[in-house]
Chains A and B, each alone.
Chain A
């Protein structure tokens, strides 16, 4: 059984990525629907960013991705040539990175970097592209866009730069926007503004937004659907309401104890590893956890990856 998302913009099934002898992503399945925010949440090093980079085909040279399927708007991304993928990137699927301070090229003005994307994908003239860039800067809440277009990245603050990055990602009206921890590097007050902006744009433009974060507060505020990752796997997924109401995976909840106080660290998973990646830190681990773990349904769209039944907490309390 797997979660069903109707009419997905992005659909990933059983994605696997390994770096040498370490498996970074182990069979991730997720789907993002049009007009929906899907949060990918998890500890550092659990494979969130690698999943995002795999979708964009931006993994480091020599690192391969495999999957049962990887579809964007019904097109198969796995069989695409580099040239075809490059045509989609920045056009129909765009990505925002974590570090706005270094994501803009210091050698060019904001306007030149923004219009380049539009010229490349739409064959527009510089003038048309500049108009479009000014329009989008205004849209992401930047005052005096005409002035900003002529400025260099070092003349802008971190919050402004992240707004520019967002505007740049939206230049070609993408269907899918992947945001990899877009607020982690920003001040707390700016974080809230950027999140509000992303939420507004997502609703106005009907974007499919794949938002990567490690902040459950952000998930609660932004997302309709959430996938929790641990050690390269999605250990729990569902609508935000379902998952937050009844977190079921033992890594998500331990009766009476707040999340985050689990002793130990995320393990490195070697190639050929079988079973539950969490078992070394789980108080409920059994010898059978070393075998392939089933994906269980906890009602509705809510799934989790554990041998325990959905009502194990009640049984444990009794």
Chain B
């Protein structure tokens, strides 16, 4: 008896690239919007985000009963306009994200490139530093530092920047290792290039695409960590409108006025989702670029 086996090829999943594309676009739009909102915050806010009005406490957003048209997203427990605080909160989150990534990127990429390119003893030292960093509990150290030094925006940024460089270092190191033996590095040396020139102008541009992806992931992480620190009361000090702080302040009212905790929560979720979508999209795009 012979069996005829019909092997049906799996249908080509055409929607996948399109979906990826769409997701990347969505991420880019979210981040683009967040950047614009952060930059133009003073022009977009209907009210002063710090102005209190105890007669207008906990007004619900416009789609709920008892709302007021002047407060689109309602007000918080001391009568500050929630939309205005949310808009200014974008500033804090973006500032933290960008500055932390720049700080940690400079540290991590410098260490990683030097270790990966030179190898040997130098690389051992870099690996040791990375291992040390990985064995530090992030949140605990951040909490301790902030508790000791006192909380301010600058302290939060510096603390996170000095702690989040490990992934930059690991990726820069591995990719620099792959690049260092390529012929164009030898060709640049044969053309009289200095060491600094080779690291910065020959190696760095060729590993930059990997680092961009790391930067997006680290940015999302930094924003979440700031929210966590602020929620614990050791991040950005009040009355600054950080989303994490808004969530912390709202937690006592969440049963009777759930929107005060949901609004900053949703904002945080959307921004981090946007960054991650863009990061994933970039990885795919740049990955394809590398295979060319």
- Which chain A residues have a beta carbon within 8 Å of chain B's beta carbons? 56, 58, 61-62, 83, 86-91, 94-95, 97-99, 102-108, 116-117, 120-121, 154, 165, 168-169
Are the CB atoms of B191 and A102 closer together than 8 Å? no
B122 CB to nearest A CB, Å: 10
Are the CB atoms of B292 and A154 closer together than 8 Å? yes
| Inter-chain residue pair count (beta carbon < 8 A) | 64
Contact of B186 with A by CB under 8 A: yes
Q: Given contacts A61-B118, A105-B206, A106-B206, is CB(A97)–CB(B186) below 8 Å? A: yes
Are the CB atoms of B192 and A107 closer together than 8 Å? no
A139 CB to nearest B CB, Å: 18
- The 8 tightest CB contacts between A and B, nearest first, are A90-B191, A90-B192, A107-B205, A89-B192, A102-B183, A95-B190, A103-B183, A105-B184
Are the CB atoms of B192 and A88 closer together than 8 Å? yes
Q: In the docked arrangement, what's the CA distance between A116 and B192, Å? A: 10
- Which chain B residues have a beta carbon within 8 Å of chain A's beta carbons? 118-120, 182-184, 186-194, 202, 205-206, 292
Residues of A close to B118: CB separation below 8 A: 61
Residues of A close to B182: CB separation below 8 A: 102
Q: Given contacts A61-B120, A102-B182, A107-B205, is CB(A94)–CB(B191) below 8 Å? A: yes
Interface of chain B, main secondary structure: helix
Residues of A close to B189: CB separation below 8 A: 58, 86, 89
Are the CB atoms of A103 and B192 closer together than 8 Å? no
Residues of B close to A98: CB separation below 8 A: 183
Residues of A close to B192: CB separation below 8 A: 86-91, 117, 120-121
Q: What are 30 sample pairs from A and B whose C-beta atoms fall under 8 A apart? A: A56-B190, A58-B190, A61-B118, A61-B120, A83-B194, A86-B192, A86-B194, A88-B192, A89-B189, A89-B191, A90-B190, A91-B192, A97-B183, A97-B186, A97-B187, A97-B190, A102-B182, A103-B183, A103-B184, A104-B184, A105-B184, A105-B188, A105-B202, A105-B205, A105-B206, A106-B206, A116-B191, A117-B191, A117-B192, A120-B191
Residues of A close to B184: CB separation below 8 A: 102-106
Residues of B close to A94: CB separation below 8 A: 190-191
- Chain B residue nearest in CB terms to A82: B195
B106 CB to nearest A CB, Å: 20
Q: In the docked arrangement, what's the CA distance between A3 and B119, Å? A: 41
A192 CB to nearest B CB, Å: 23
Residues of A close to B188: CB separation below 8 A: 105
Q: In the docked arrangement, what's the CA distance between A159 and B292, Å? A: 19
B183, B192, B194, B205: residue with the most chain A Cβ atoms closer than 10 Å? B192
Residues of A close to B119: CB separation below 8 A: 61
- Chain B residue nearest in CB terms to A58: B189
Residues of A close to B183: CB separation below 8 A: 97-99, 102-103
Are the CB atoms of B191 and A58 closer together than 8 Å? no
Beyond known contacts A61-B119, A89-B190, A95-B187: 12 more, CB 8 A cutoff: A56-B190, A86-B194, A88-B192, A89-B189, A90-B191, A90-B192, A97-B183, A98-B183, A102-B183, A103-B184, A106-B184, A120-B191
A112 CB to nearest B CB, Å: 10
Residues of A close to B292: CB separation below 8 A: 154
Q: In the docked arrangement, what's the CA distance between A98 and B187, Å? A: 11
Q: In the docked arrangement, what's the CA distance between A120 and B198, Å? A: 13
- Chain B residue nearest in CB terms to A104: B184
